[in-house]
Amino acid sequence: YSYGIMDTLKALDMGAVETLIVWESLDVNRVILNGPDGIEVERFFSPAQEADRSNYVDKETGAELEVKEKMPMLEWLTEIYKEKGAALEFVADRSTVGSRFVNTFGGIGALLCYQMDITKLGGNDESNMYYDNDEEIEEISED
């Protein structure tokens, strides 16, 4: 299994996800930013992160990053899960199990086709296309 945005998207990208599990009210946006060198950067922001303008500044150059595309992560996932070979299941937070999933895992996770150690696939740095702040996402799910 995997959980959290970063690890789950890594597994999904590798084709390792059998079932993608997502909170039906996940309030995260997928944002594509144009970097100063013309390279697109994919980010996933909570509303609080989206409002923080420092998330739109290149840390190396200080240049403002331009938003090229923005869409709710739920909408994006419903468009891509099949091409990644996964099934998609939504979970509500109205039950004890659903509430625990949202509060513990941030509202996104996956059952994998095979065992893998996602933590060895890369860090959570600025160049990582799966950059997020899991603490912010956990705060969202507690509301």
pLDDT digits (tens, 9 = 90+) for 49-80: 999 999 999 888 888 899 999 999 999 999 99
Q: How far apart are CA 127 and CA 130, in angstroms?
A: 9
Please state, for a pLDDT cut of 70, what percent of the chain lies above it: 81
Instruction: Report the helix count and the strand count for the chain, using DSSP H and E.
Output: 5, 7
pLDDT tens-digit map of 15-34: 899 999 999 999 999 999 99
pLDDT digits (tens, 9 = 90+) for 74-98: 999 999 999 898 999 999 989 898 8
pLDDT at 142: 41
* pLDDT for res 121: 58
